[in-house]
Structure formats: structure tokens, C-alpha cells
Amino acid sequence: MCGIVGYIGHRNAVPILVKGLEHLEYRGYDSAGIACLNLEKENLFIKKEKGKLSELKRELEKHPAYAQIGIGHTRWATHGEPSKLNAHPHVDDKSKIILVHNGIIENHSDLKRELQAKGHRFFSGTDTEVAVNLIASYYKKNNFVEAFRKAISRLQGFYAFVALDKSDPDTLYVFKRSNPLVIGLGKGENFVASDTPALLPFTSDVVFLEDDEYAVLTKDKVKIFSLATGRMIKRHSTRIKWNMAQAQKGGYPHFMLKEIYEQPTVLQEAFNRITNKEDVIRFENMTPRIENRLRKIRKVFMVSCGTAYHAGLTGCLWMEQNAGIPSEARVSSEFRYQKPIVTKNDLVILITQSGETADTLAALREAKTHGAMTLAVVNVLGSTIAREADYTIYTHAGPEIGVASTKAYTAQLVTLVFLSLYMARIKKTLSSRQIAGYLDSIRKLPKACSKALKQSTAIINCAKHQYRRHSFLYIGRGVNFPVALEGALKLKEISYAHAHGYAAGEMKHGPIALIDKNQPVICIAPHSKTRDKMLSNVEEIRARKGIVIAIGTENDKELKKISSYFIPVPKVDESLSAIIAVIPLQLFAYHVAVLNRRDVDQPRNLAKSVTVE
Ligand code: G6P
């Protein structure tokens, strides 16, 4: 949560910081601000506004500034309400040091008392102001690095900083502990940001900072040091292959819609990347040693948050059915505190779009303390979880900007189904012929996905009739039970309607009491072993005058007849139907949100990357 940027170079920092923040707004958007040091006039320029970045931009148009060094921030409030006062950057009470911060300083109350006793004054409700005053309290003889290091050694928690020293307008200081920071390398200029999309408009060459490292950036040099030893660290740069077009809307009104429509391509690219002509599944950077370890795995945990957790639920079904390995999906925030019974014979799979989710990262570290093998399924290249796991499979869905995850989810699903087949091969639970048959079904997914996307007219029609309702139920069975959870999550995230996903068989144990003529129920009932059972659920809802919105296989006349709305999806292999059935649910959530005039890409109170507990 929160996005931070920094620039030093030969150009005007202001538009560069603003452009960077535009690409980080998905991380939080309740206030934004920038601070620059104007070399010629030797003064500090700070502008902050409550609300979205657009508010700050409006102010910057009225009060233009020019500087060649600056830092910026877009906030998701943790300590202190969203307000101009609490917006970053923050300065110490003598305005010597300027800081933007992502994360939480856990011991901020104690430190604040200590600093107050020494005479420091505080104006905001943030933990950041404590950090910047602490740095200032150690600042002597213009030695910023020493002050920075001393302060960091006392600041508990997980955080990333970008700081300016007013008396030294030629240097940017950055530090990372658990929260992400990427340095962008330019010619006569350097950049830093919470995430790579903020750097892509300016450079593709990046250096990832590791935990407990700080860096000193001038316009011509980037020097990285270990906090513990103070020694300089050599780090090679990485070239990012994502391009700018991928990080723009490309004619769509919202990123979310664009990302929904990118799913056939994401599925096709996953297929091309992971399989070869001989129907062999290959993952990048797989080694015989890793394969050997995977062969010995007795149990799998899939640990993740939000949408990624729903991918994990489906992934576990595939892992059990295909590879015969007992598998459990767990929510990261629970797993990390549950004292999980995990052994060195277990595989803990961390599923995460951002690769930075605080609870998933903590779960990864917890799994490692038990000696388990850790495997990350991650979208963002070079992210912390990708780097810390024993082995990482990238989902390569491209940048996902909409806060509500869509293409990253289908990319996770298809990766997990491939992984289950890979495990099936090395565990010899499926024959080559069976795997080849399965791959034939996966091959058909991109086309089926394109076809499912063609139903938008029927979906918009249904949304137009139902968008004012305050409560929606979603039900499904088997692989489509997690789809019900995901459909409900999508709707509540972006439309703010109450939505609840249920295993259809549980209807009679509670949710059926909700059914009346005003209650829409989204029934996910594509062709499957349990399709008839789903039809019985539909009848039960009808008998109580509920509104049935059915997702069914395209020729399912019987289901169509008993439903208030019928959204057809193409027939695919039953176990893969989850990857297709979710498409109309994403579109439904999108259109309900648009009709309700919600901010689809940046829904209230949410952030895409949850880097605090
Ligand atoms: C946030 C996002 C969700 C995402 C979840 C997990 O809640 O809004 O879209 O599913 O975090 O994020 P991760 O990056 O770990 O997949």
C-alpha cells in the first residue's frame, strides 16, 4: 500500500514524479503529494492534496514548479485519516529532512514520546512524521547516511523510504525492508519507485533493492549498501520486458475492462510458453534438483490472499485430482499465525499477483522456518516473494492495473493446472496419454474465453435490470465453488453491493432463508457431474421467487428455461470450466459497477498491493 517515487537528473522532476505516481495510484489514492528541492533558489517546494492524484495535478497546474530532484507519494491511510495534513511527503520540525514512506513503523508511539521529550513537535497523525524526526534527531555534521542508518536501526516494522536532505540537493536516499523498491537507471538521471510500471515511461533498466539495503542516488551513480555492514554491494541491472502500451488503457474506458479482454491472449501465451510440440510441460529455470525435491513432496499448501486465494482453492482440487497429492488452500493471514503443521516433505505454494502482499510474504517466511519447499506463483518480476521463494513460476500476465484482479487470476489458474499436470508426470499419477488429452482441453481455452467474452450484451442487459440491488448470492459446486467466491468478491470490490459466495450444497443450511423476489442468485452451473444438482438448487430458488442469473453451457436449454437470465459459456472440460465460468462474472461485476457510477479501477478503501498486515 502507498506508492513512492523519486527522481534525480537533468529534467524537471515534477512531471516525472507525477507520471510515476499515475502508475502507482493502484497502491492507494486517498491523498498524494510531492516535494522537490530547487537547486537555483535553494528552496523546498512541497505540494500535497487530499483525494486522488488528479487533485494534486490540478494544484500543480496552478502552482508550477521546476526542480531536478524530488520525491512523491500516493497514500493508502494506515496511521492518521486521509487528509492533506497526513499526506506525504513529511518533514521534520525544522524542515531539514523530507521523507516519503510505504509501510508501518510499529514502535512509532514509543519513539514519538521519546522525541517529544526532547522537544520535537508533531503536526500529523502519521508514523512517517516520527521516522523523519528520528532521522533529524541523529543528523549531525551533514552526515545524512549516518543519521539514516541510526534511525533505521531503531524503526521496527516493514517499510520503504525515499528521503531528501535539504542541505544536499544532489542526492536521493532510499531504503527497503520488506516493502518493495525498484531503482530505474537512466543516462544522467536515476529513478526510484515502489513498482516497475512507474519507471517504464523513462527506463527499462532496473535494479531491485533487497531487504535491509539502502541506496544513495545521484544523477550519475547508484550505490547500494548493506545496512548491517555499511559495505557497498554490486548488483546487476535487469531489463524489464513489459512495454508501456501494456500499462495503458489502449482505448478501453477502464483498465479492468482492458484486462478482462486480455485474458484469451494471457491463456494462449501461457500455453505456448509452458508446453512444447511434444506435449511436454516445462517451467522456466526448472532444474533436476528442484524436480527431485518436487518428486518427494507429500503434501501441498496453497497460501494466498483475496483473488489469489480463490485461485489456490481451485489449484488444490487440481493438485489432488491430477497429482494425487493431499492439498490445502489457506488464507495467508491465517496460515502465518496458525502454527501450521508443515514439514520438510511439504510444498508451500505462494500465489500472488504483486509478489509483495505482506501476509503472503510472512507465510512464505513461516513455511521456510519449517523447512518446507516454497514455490511462488507470481506475476510481478523481481518482487520480494518471487526472489525469496525456493522456486518461482511467473504467470506473465503483464501489468495488471485495475485493483480488482482479472487476468492475473486466470493466469494463476492456468499456471496451477499446468503445475498439477507437471506434478502428475513426475509422480506418475497420470500417463503421458492422459496428460496429452488434458493439454488438448487446455489448448481450447483461449478460444472458449474469447467466445465467453462475446456475451457482453446479455450481461449488460442483466446488469441493467439488477444493478440497484444491494445483495447478491453466488453459488457453485466443485471447481465452480471457488468461482462463486471469486464472482462475489469481484462484485463487492467494485460495486460495493453485498455479495456472498456459497457452495451450492450449503444453500439449505442458511442462505436459502434470504431468498425472496428481490434476491438475485448467480448460479454457476456449466456442464459437469453436478450440473443436475445445480438445477435442483435453481428450482429451489425459483420456488421461493428468487431471481436466477444462470451461467450455463451454451446449449443447456433446460437451465435456460428455468432461469430469469441465462448467460451461455462454451463447453470445455469440466475441471477447466472454472477458467471460463469466471469471465461472465467479471463482466457482470464490471457493468454493475459502471451503472452505479463507481470508480472501477480504484474502488474506495482498497489498494492493489497490500503491503501492510
Ligand atoms: C488485494 C487486491 C486483490 C488481490 C489481493 C492479493 O486485496 O485488491 O486484487 O487479490 O490483494 O494480492 P496479491 O498481489 O498477493 O495477489
353 lines ligand 1 (CB under 6 A): yes
pTM reported for the whole predicted model: 0.80
**DSSP conformation class of 520:** E
| pLDDT above 70 for 35 | yes
Q: CA 570, CA 384: separation in Å to the nearest integer?
A: 38
- The per-residue pLDDT of the chain, averaged, comes to 94
pLDDT in tens, 332-370: 999 988 888 999 999 999 999 999 999 999 999 999 999
Backbone torsions φ then ψ of 6, nearest 5 degrees:
-150, 150
Task: Among 260, 304, 305, 351, say which to mutate for ligand 1: greatest number of ligand atoms within 8 Å of CB.
Answer: 305
The neighbour count for residue 84, using CB atoms within 10 Å, is 13
| CA 304 to ligand 1: nearest atom | 15
489 lines ligand 1 (CB under 6 A): no
pLDDT on residue 245:
67
Backbone torsions φ then ψ of 98, nearest 5 degrees:
-125, 135
pLDDT in tens, 52-97: 999 999 999 998 889 999 999 999 887 888 899 999 999 999 999 9
Q: Is 449 assigned a catalytic role?
A: no
pLDDT on residue 300:
98
Local confidence band at 42 (pLDDT 50, 70, 90 cut-offs): low
pLDDT on residue 382:
79
| CA 380 to ligand 1: nearest atom | 14
Closest-CA residue, ligand 1 atom 7, reads 306
- Ligand 1 centroid from CA 362, angstroms: 15
352 lines ligand 1 (CB under 6 A): yes
pLDDT on residue 305:
97
Q: CA 26, CA 1: separation in Å to the nearest integer?
A: 9
The neighbour count for residue 553, using CB atoms within 10 Å, is 19
| pLDDT above 70 for 412 | yes
Q: CA 530, CA 583: separation in Å to the nearest integer?
A: 20
The residue written with cell numbers 430458488 in the block is 541
Q: What is the mean pLDDT of residues 136-140?
A: 94
Angle between helices 445-453 and 432-443 (to 10 degrees): 30
Any idea which of 37-51, 294-308, 428-442 has the lowest mean pLDDT? 37-51
196 lines ligand 1 (CB under 6 A): no
pLDDT on residue 244:
66
307 lines ligand 1 (CB under 6 A): yes
| CA 607 to ligand 1: nearest atom | 8
Closest-CA residue, ligand 1 atom 2, reads 608
Local confidence band at 133 (pLDDT 50, 70, 90 cut-offs): very high
- Ligand 1 centroid from CA 394, angstroms: 16
pLDDT in tens, 227-266: 999 999 999 999 887 766 676 777 899 999 999 999 999 9
Give the containing element (helix H, strand E) for 462: helix 456-466
| CA 332 to ligand 1: nearest atom | 15
Domains and CATH numbers, the chain: 3-240 (3.60.20.10), 249-443 (3.40.50.10490), 453-595 (3.40.50.10490)
- Ligand 1 centroid from CA 326, angstroms: 25
pLDDT in tens, 468-485: 999 999 999 999 999 999
Half-sphere exposure of 515 (CA within 13 A, CB side): 22
pLDDT on residue 41:
60
**DSSP conformation class of 316:** H
- Ligand 1 centroid from CA 304, angstroms: 9
pLDDT in tens, 105-122: 989 999 999 999 999 999
Q: Is 96 assigned a catalytic role?
A: no
| pLDDT above 90 for 211 | no
357 lines ligand 1 (CB under 6 A): yes
